[in-house]
Amino acid sequence: PIHITLAPGIQMPSDPHLFVFAVVPNGPPMPIAVKRIRDPKLPITLSLGDGDAMIEGSKLEVNPELQFKARLSAGGNVMNKEGAFEGVSITVSTATIPTVPIDIRIDRAL
């Protein structure tokens, strides 16, 4: 499970959207899986799996390690950086993902 919190002092933008994505550490910037939640209630706990893959049929576990990011932005455009905030997890071994909690604290302005 991925547990996402908002750091003190970070304001929820208008028309908030939460994007949670998995990337390969030190790999290409393109996420391998993503989930979008409109008007999220933080803190929130969710999961990201093969059903959220950017390319149909992709499996998260083919990557030995993953890093998870959570981006909070106004509107439904993940590329909108104005007033957006992000948090990043530690690098996680994919073998431990089902059992180890993953914490992300949204604490950095983009």
> Which residues face 61 on adjacent strands?
none
Q: Nearest-CA neighbor of 69 among 46, 50, 41, 89?
A: 89
pLDDT tens, position by position, 39-71 = 999 999 999 999 999 998 889 999 999 999 999
What pLDDT, on the 0 to 100 scale, is given for residue 78? 84
- Assess whether pLDDT exceeds 90 at residue 84: yes
What is the rounded average pLDDT of the residues 1-13? 95
**Burial class for 3, CB neighbours closer than 10 Å (0-12, 13-18, 19+):** middle
What pLDDT, on the 0 to 100 scale, is given for residue 58? 87
The class of domain 2-109 in CATH terms is mainly beta
**Domain ranges within the chain, ordered by starting residue:** 2-109
What pLDDT, on the 0 to 100 scale, is given for residue 97? 86
What is the rounded average pLDDT of the residues 77-106? 91
